[in-house]
Amino acid sequence: MDLKEALSYPRPPVRRLLDMVKHWAKVPAAERAAASEPRFQPRRALSLAERLGEAGVQKLITAYRNGTTGPELAAEYGCSLKTIRRLLRKYGVRLAD
């Protein structure tokens, strides 16, 4: 089966694709470029330090130094233990074993 014969009787998904190509061929290039740009730009998720701010980070560090465990802080701040440990290391806090 050659290409011409295959496209002479296309299945519905292929037919829709061919219709879209015909439509885009009629649209001016400037409109095509504008339409192909994403309408929604997802934001980068804020880190825990960005969400808490400097005062919040200091409060977390103080709590850790006063004996609050990593898992307790993770539960309180709604994040993982790994996130808490990463933040503490970033701010030069020595972690308990």
| pLDDT digits (tens), the chain, 97 positions | 566 666 676 678 778 888 888 887 787 776 666 666 666 777 888 899 999 999 999 999 999 999 999 999 999 999 999 999 999 999 999 998 6
Q: Distance between terminal CA atoms of the chain?
A: 69
The C-alpha atoms of residue 57 and residue 13 are separated, in whole angstroms, by 54
Give the model's pLDDT for residue 65. Answer: 95
Predicted pLDDT at 13: 79
Q: What is the pLDDT of residue 37?
A: 65
- This model's pTM is above 0.75: no
Q: Is 91 helix (H, G, I), strand (E, B) or coil?
A: coil
Query: What SS3 class is residue 86?
Result: helix
Please give the Cα distance from 67 to 5 (Å, whole number): 76
